A and B are shown apart, each in its own frame.
Chain A
Amino acid sequence: MRVKITYAFFLFLSVFILCNGFINENPFFNISAKDVELKIPKGFPKPYYNFNKNKLNPDIFVLGRKLFYDNLLSKDNSVSCGTCHQRIAAFAHIDHRLSHGIYAKIGARNVPALQNLIWKDTYMWDGGVNNLEVQPINPITNSIEMDESLSNVISKLKRDSSYVFLFKKAYKDTLINSERLLKSLAQFTGLMISANARYDQFMKGTDTFSTAEKNGLKLFRSKCANCHAEPLFSDNSYRNNGLKQDTALKDKGRQAITGNEKDKNTFKVPGLRNVAMTYPYMHDGRYKNLKEAIDHYSDYKKYDLQADLSLQKIGSLTEVQKKEILAFLLTLTDKEFLYDRRFADPGMN
């Protein structure tokens, strides 16, 4: 009898341990309280979005991560945020000129990188969105991106037992609404902070630059930093960077938002962190690589007539100067951010 009980006990124990091993999530995807601490990198300004009304919490972050990678957000369950915002490309769409959407439709603009978002005062190339939390409403409801309605997304979430569980875990009650959906996404995207590139190490004195990189930094500061201001490499302004309007896309840029003639053909200055990974370049992705982009700035004779006056500072660059600027831009690649496990697709959709 006693033998039988002991035997049964060990059998139970081994089954329990075995099952436990399967049930437990891969520790790679575990998010702890420490993982969701907001650390403002040294030298960065005060962020515009501060999480005061959206307290950071690992369970809310995990919910946001699942939503970010879930095709459920699109009408026919085919596209997620992560489809176009790829982690390996600092959440831009690598090697895609214009964004791809639902039903194989093609958008009008190049997918921007998602990084250091809380330091932006507005979102989108035209700055039409005024708060990080309401940004995802655009791709979700845009007919060529996800073509879904917010109310449909909410009802799909309510029918999905894994979301019922995750919302309850995150918010301690059963309510599932758009505010919680959007705030969870804001926790996930808001914590995408890139601040540990070789450039940052060089600035801290923990790494060295080659002569070309040093010269590149000097050139960058005298010719580019007026708009691509350190440490975020954008001054958050809207500029006409000399590109002539694409005759097929006819994108008016900021003017579509303000209705102001002076904003015609201006776009938000993008930050340049991880720029080597986010090709192709410009709001319409017309330049395949960094060399083409640098060539553009060097060739002022081809500029649009309303080009920003600060471009005059650049003048024509020698081939050596171009290479030095390129060498510097490559130091902005932040592997810690690109391989940050917190932002990986948990693949549990």
Chain B
Amino acid sequence: MRSKKTIRISFGIVFLTLGFSFSFVPIKKNKTDKLILNIKHFVGNLPLKMDSVTYKNKLGQNFTITKFKYYISNIVLKQENGNEFKSDNYFLVDEEVENSKQLVLENVPDGTYTSIEFIIGVDSLHNCSGAQSGALDPINGMFWAWNSGYIFLKLEGFSSSSKSPGHLYEYHIGGYKQPNNCIRKVFLDLDKIDITKTTAFFLKADAEELLENPTSIDFEKLSSVTDHRNAPGIADNYKDMFSILKNN
């Protein structure tokens, strides 16, 4: 009688303990990590050097670069199993601002990522969202006020072939409305990045791509694009300016 009771009690204790211990077993949480996307600017195979270095386009025209800045947004990282990580950050990458070339993605779920996609520019919703701050603050000089919308990319410099005052050339590319929509999406395969082991990877952005393929830009004929009407051709050129940099 007594022993039965003891057994019952001890069973009870065992169950209780089990119950408690189960409740303390950590539920396997999805861990996250930080991933840094480093961007390096090039002109063809040469690292971009602002102002001082003179480059040549395919037509043999000389040019320098004095400004190179652009937006990257709507970044999506994809895993092998189809899982996606979407970043809602807007990045303004500027050759002149060193830390702007480091895109920090926070809270990326652990896993092995096999591809990345993003927009060069700003999606149409955020072109119409009124006053914004951070990278999208119009104070950054990347906003057209008279025909509202963001300038997605700026490339400026000098070319002796340019007919503009002071041989300047300026390509300001933007526009989110058809038929002059300049939002361009980039898709890149990644070398299976396991973010528990890798913390960063490198992207190459080749400024020369603006001037080539499919449309060869002749500095003499087109030295200034400052609204969205002439822009789509150049956007088509630069949409493949990014590649994964393997040996950095």
Contacts and interface: CB of A to CB of B under 8 A. Distances in A.
Interface string A152-166: 001000000000000
Interface residues of chain A: helix, strand, loop or mixed (majority): helix
B146 interface: yes
B137 interface: yes
A77 interface: no
Interface string B119-158: 0000000011111110001110001011111000000000
Interface in A156-192: 177-183, 186
A267 to B, nearest CB: 15
Given A130-B148, A130-B149, A138-B146, A186 B137 contact: no
A57 interface: no
B180 interface: yes
Contacts of A133: 130-131
Contacts, number: 63
B148 A150 contact: no
A129 B138 CA distance: 14
A183 B137 CA distance: 13
A210 interface: no
A215 interface: no
Contact of A150 (B128, B139, B229): B139
Interface in A11-37: none
A295 B229 CA distance: 38
Interface residues of chain B: helix, strand, loop or mixed (majority): loop
A315 interface: no
A179 B137 contact: yes
A128 B145 CA distance: 8
B107 to A, nearest CB: 24
B143 A177 contact: no
A257 interface: yes
Contact of B139 (A53, A54, A151, A257): A151
Nearest to A122: B148
A226 interface: no
Contact of B137 (A130, A131, A141, A178): A178
A150 B137 CA distance: 10
Nearest to B145: A137
A137 B130 contact: no
A128 B137 contact: no
A137 B143 contact: yes
B138 A137 contact: yes
Contact of A134 (B148, B180, B229): B148
A347 interface: no
Given A137-B143, A150-B139, A129 B148 contact: yes
Nearest to A154: B139
A178 B139 contact: yes
Contact of A182 (B127, B130, B147, B149): B130
A111 interface: no
Contact of A141 (B130, B131, B145): B145
A182 B139 CA distance: 12
A177 B148 CA distance: 19
A178 B149 CA distance: 16
Given A137-B145, A150-B139, A177-B137, A130 B127 contact: yes
A153 to B, nearest CB: 9
20 contacts: A53-B129, A124-B146, A128-B146, A129-B146, A130-B127, A131-B130, A131-B131, A134-B148, A137-B138, A137-B145, A138-B146, A154-B139, A177-B137, A179-B133, A182-B130, A183-B130, A183-B131, A186-B130, A257-B147, A259-B180
Interface of B: 127-133, 137-139, 143, 145-149, 180, 229
Given A130-B148, A142-B146, 19 more contacts: A128-B146, A129-B145, A129-B147, A129-B148, A130-B127, A131-B129, A132-B130, A133-B130, A134-B138, A134-B143, A134-B145, A137-B145, A154-B139, A177-B133, A179-B131, A179-B137, A186-B130, A186-B131, A257-B147
